[in-house]
């Protein structure tokens, strides 16, 4: 099939483009490059031997999105494009609502006009908010506690309402947990702009000498070692989960939602130790105060994706850290040469 991947030059997007090409699909990518580099697609082509069609397009420009669909017949869409920094979304909510919601509405309106009604949406565990018991289960009430998470929740609602109103739609909502790692080749990986918000890219930048030390945000939580527990998932496993969801909804109409996670929690210090093992030397850190908004612990109930998609995570935290380190060591400045 010909699959349109929005946000396909990004971290998860580029790994998913590679998995799609390896599964025999042709890929068209839309990305505005606001938080990524086209170099990632050049490397994906090097790995897969296939070049994805690329359009430097912002989803908020509906006419530009229309031109992409008019130019080539698309069979299905995987929708990653969106702003995704929780802290920034609290400081600039309007920017997040406009970019994430208007961009998505433009995309699905153009899809509908072109009779393209199969979409896999990149949602997030953040929609579960702070009141659900762990492990998180798909049927739970959701309620994000930040503007970024609310845009994900609202897009899930938009797609759920669309699927309920029009039975021609094939819709998968994927709630992922904490993506880390990189393709084992070390040629593609996570390349955050500015200071990384997330744990593993920050550790990787300390290890490669770009940052002085890791600040561990809180060592006094009610967890085995006092640091927060999260469900880390290898980005290649995550990409394969998108291909599995795409295949599932290709056969069925309706709205489906799945957690993509390992079903296990790992602590900040456990991840740090694992990364030190990959690097082969200690990584400087300091335990500081808690970060506002952090939950002590959450992880996925991953049984639905296994039952429906025959998909589960295959890689360990050690493998995630080894692969992330290989990418960072080989690309100390990310994609910018
Ligand atoms: C993990 C743990 C931090 C950085 C976020 C978003 C979520 C999703 C995934 C998009 C926490 C600790 C982190 C650091 C630290 N993104 N930490 N020092 O917060 O679980 O989830 O990314 O969908 O929406 O909220 O991930 O990697 O930021 O933090 O101690 O420099 O690492 O306190 O306990 P998080 P994270």
DSSP for 317-337, please give it.
HHHHHHHHHHHHHH-TTTT--
Residue 99 carries which DSSP code?
I
Q: Which domain holds residue 46?
A: 2-180+234-261
**Residue 130 to residues 91, 179, 216, 228, 290: CA-CA distances in angstroms?**
20, 20, 21, 14, 16
Distance of CA 199 from the midpoint of ligand 1 (Å):
6
Distance of CA 198 from the midpoint of ligand 1 (Å):
5
- In-domain check, residue 71: yes
- In-domain check, residue 198: no
* Atom of ligand 1 minimally distant from the CA of 290: 33
Residue nearest to atom 6 of ligand 1 (CA): 86
Q: Can you give the pTM of this predicted structure?
A: 0.97
Tens of pLDDT along the chain (337 residues) come to 999 999 999 999 999 999 999 999 999 999 999 999 999 999 999 999 999 999 999 999 999 999 999 999 999 999 999 999 999 999 999 999 999 999 999 999 999 999 999 999 999 999 999 999 999 999 999 999 999 999 999 999 999 999 999 999 999 999 999 999 999 999 999 999 999 999 999 999 999 999 999 999 999 999 999 999 999 999 999 999 999 999 999 999 999 999 999 999 999 999 999 999 999 999 999 999 999 999 999 999 999 999 999 999 999 999 999 999 999 999 999 998 5
Ligand 1, CB within 6 Å, residue ranges:
84, 86, 124, 126, 178, 197-199, 202, 214-217, 228, 230, 268, 291, 294
CA distance 78 to 68: 15
Residue nearest to atom 1 of ligand 1 (CA): 199
- In-domain check, residue 207: no
- In-domain check, residue 216: no
- In-domain check, residue 321: no
Residue nearest to atom 4 of ligand 1 (CA): 199
**Residue 112 to residues 80, 88, 104, 108, 115: CA-CA distances in angstroms?**
18, 32, 12, 6, 5
Count of CB atoms situated within 10 Å of the CB of 67: 13
- In-domain check, residue 68: yes
- In-domain check, residue 309: no
Handedness of CA 47, 50, 55, 58 (dihedral sign): negative
Work out how many domains the chain is built from and give that number: 1
Q: Active site residue: 148, 176, 221, 248, which one?
A: 148
CA distance 118 to 115: 9
Q: Which CATH number goes with the domain that contains 112?
A: 3.40.50.720
Q: ipTM greater than 0.90, yes or no? A: yes
CA distance 215 to 200: 12
**Structural contact between residues 278 and 325, judged by C-beta atoms closer than 8 angstroms:** yes
CA distance 78 to 40: 17
Structure-block tokens of residue 250 = 């290709």
Residue nearest to atom 11 of ligand 1 (CA): 228
148 in active site: yes
- In-domain check, residue 290: no
Which of the listed residues 121, 144, 178 should we mutate to test ligand 1's pocket, taking the one with most ligand atoms within 8 A of CB? 178
């Amino acid at each position: 099939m010909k699959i349109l991947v929005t946000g396909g030059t990004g971290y998860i997007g580029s790994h998913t483009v590679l998995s799609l090409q390896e599964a025999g699909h042709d890929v068209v990518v839309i990305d505005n490059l606001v938080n990524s580099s086209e170099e990632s697609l050049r490397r994906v082509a090097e790995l897969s031997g296939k070049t994805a069609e690329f359009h430097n397009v912002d989803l908020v420009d509906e006419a530009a999105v229309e031109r992409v669909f008019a130019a080539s017949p698309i069979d299905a869409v995987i929708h990653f494009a969106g702003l995704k920094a929780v802290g920034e979304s609290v400081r600039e909510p309007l920017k997040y609502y406009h970019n994430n919601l208007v961009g998505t509405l433009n995309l699905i309106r153009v899809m509908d006009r072109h009779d393209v009604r199969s979409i896999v949406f990149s949602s997030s565990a953040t929609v579960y908010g702070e009141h659900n018991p762990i492990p998180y289960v798909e049927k739970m009430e959701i309620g994000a506690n930040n503007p970024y998470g609310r845009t994900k929740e609202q897009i899930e609602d938009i797609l759920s309402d669309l699927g309920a109103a029009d039975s021609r739609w094939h819709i998968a909502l994927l709630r992922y947990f904490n993506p880390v790692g990189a393709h084992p080749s070390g040629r593609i990986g996570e390349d955050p702009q500015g200071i990384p918000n997330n744990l593993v890219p920050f550790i990787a930048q300390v290890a490669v000498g770009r940052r002085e030390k890791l600040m561990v945000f809180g060592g006094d939580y009610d967890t085995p070692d006092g640091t927060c527990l999260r469900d880390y998932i290898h980005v290649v496993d995550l990409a394969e989960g998108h291909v599995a969801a795409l295949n599932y909804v290709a056969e069925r109409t309706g709205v489906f939602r799945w957690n993509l996670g390992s079903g296990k929690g790992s602590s900040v210090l456990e991840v740090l130790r694992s990364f030190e093992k990959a690097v082969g030397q200690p990584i400087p850190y300091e335990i500081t105060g808690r970060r506002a908004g952090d939950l002590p612990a959450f992880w996925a109930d991953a049984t639905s994706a296994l039952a429906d998609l025959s998909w589960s995570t295959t890689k360990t935290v050690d493998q995630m850290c080894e692969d992330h380190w290989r990418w960072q060591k080989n690309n100390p400045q990310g994609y910018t040469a």
